[in-house]
Amino acid sequence: MHKLATILCVMSVSLTAQWPNHPTPGVPRTPDGKPNLSAPAPRSVDGKPDLSGVWLVRNGSFYLASNLRPEDMRPWAAALYKQREDNFRKDTDGIGCLPPGPKAGIGLGAFPMKIVQTSNLVVVLYEYQTIFRQIFTDGRGLPEDVNPTWMGYSVGHWDGDTLVVTTAGYNDRTTIDLAGHPHTEALRMTERFRRRDVGHLDVQVTFDDPKAYTKPWTLPFNFNLIPDGQLIEYVCENERDAPHLVGKSGEEFRVPAEVLAQYAGTYGTAVISLEGGRLMLDPGTGKMPLIAHSENSFTMEGTGVDFVKDSKGAVTAMIQHWTEGDRYLARTKDPSK
């Protein structure tokens, strides 16, 4: 098994099962007792939409900057990205179990987050690495002379029913996404939170780092409420595996086109396609190439991917080998049928 480490998600389960008979207070219910996720968004005592709850991103991925073109990056940033790409991201922040920095703003994959809203402060608790952010809504501005931190400094204000959050003061030791796009300490992230109804939270995230990129860009995200759910503790320990990781070396294994074509299809929410003689994986936020190591073993941006066949030779599943554990995705659609 070709096992390489990243920080992208393993499937996470909230602690709903720990308190099965303790529904979250204030969540509206249908006559049969189920959460009414389409009910109007709740409001706090000051009339603002209440963003509180446990949320899971629906369209999240750590490959969010993968559609950036080389001309969108400053030359040094493009060169560093290419170096990381060639080395399978073995030296990025997640390998050392470091905090994710601005990646927290894009949902952290399948790890939920919990928002706790008060009149002057919004706290965001992340299941991933059990970290947190404080968003001050008491009228203060960003600090003028900051000591750069992993998670930055955040302030927010209300624009109608939208909470606008500005975060700055990041150190430059993290990346914007798992693909390895760098940033500098000049990075400023702006998030716009709007709770559409009880069960849905829309967030727009804008990244602006003029020292690394030629223009800012904005990405949309949608979060679903996990009603009656809680977070569980998650501790990253994959730094112990870092010395065993390898980067790109040697020539890519050549797989016949007719063999590659067998793998095209849908696996869970991921789509595998064959384009120009290479397999591409699209998790819903952009296509990424798969690098072949054998006829059924590949690498996706530094993460091992194996295709599984049954006794008759039919492809039945894809396994992604995260350091945190394997993720099994059954094949749900075969385009040849």
Query: Nearest Cα to 173, choosing from 98, 80, 248, 223?
Result: 98
- DSSP-derived secondary structure for 205-270: EEEE-TTTBSS-EEEEEEEEE-TT---------GGGGGGG-----SPPPP--HHHHHHH-EEETTE
The overall longest dimension of the chain from CA atoms, in Å, is 65
Count CB neighbours of 207 within 10 A.
23
Tokens linked to 253: 């294994």
Closest to 94 measured CA to CA, from 19, 11, 31, 177: 177
Give the residue from 221, 277, 237, 226 showing the smallest Cα distance to 254. 277
Question: So what's the pLDDT on residue 52?
Answer: 96
> Considering the entire predicted model, what is its pTM?
0.75
Please tell me the distance from the alpha carbon of residue 176 to that of residue 178, in angstroms, as a whole number.
Answer: 7
CA distance 294 to 261: 15
CA distances from 40 to 28, 195, 198, 203 (A): 9, 9, 6, 18
Which is it for strands 153-159 and 200-208: parallel, antiparallel or unpaired?
A: unpaired
Scanning the structure block, which residue is given the tokens 């996706």? Answer: 300
Amino acid 285: pLDDT: 59
pLDDT in tens, the chain (337 residues): 333 333 333 334 455 545 666 778 888 899 998 999 999 999 999 999 999 999 988 875 556 666 678 789 999 999 998 888 777 666 667 667 788 899 887 766 667 899 999 999 999 999 888 899 999 999 999 999 889 999 999 999 999 999 999 999 999 999 988 778 899 999 999 999 999 999 999 999 999 999 999 999 888 889 999 998 888 888 776 555 555 455 555 567 899 999 999 999 999 888 999 998 889 988 765 677 888 889 999 987 667 899 999 999 999 999 987 655 678 899 997 877 7
Query: What sign does the dihedral 84-85-89-93 (CA atoms) show?
Result: positive
Burial label, 109 (beta-carbon count in 10 A; 0-12, 13-18, 19+): buried
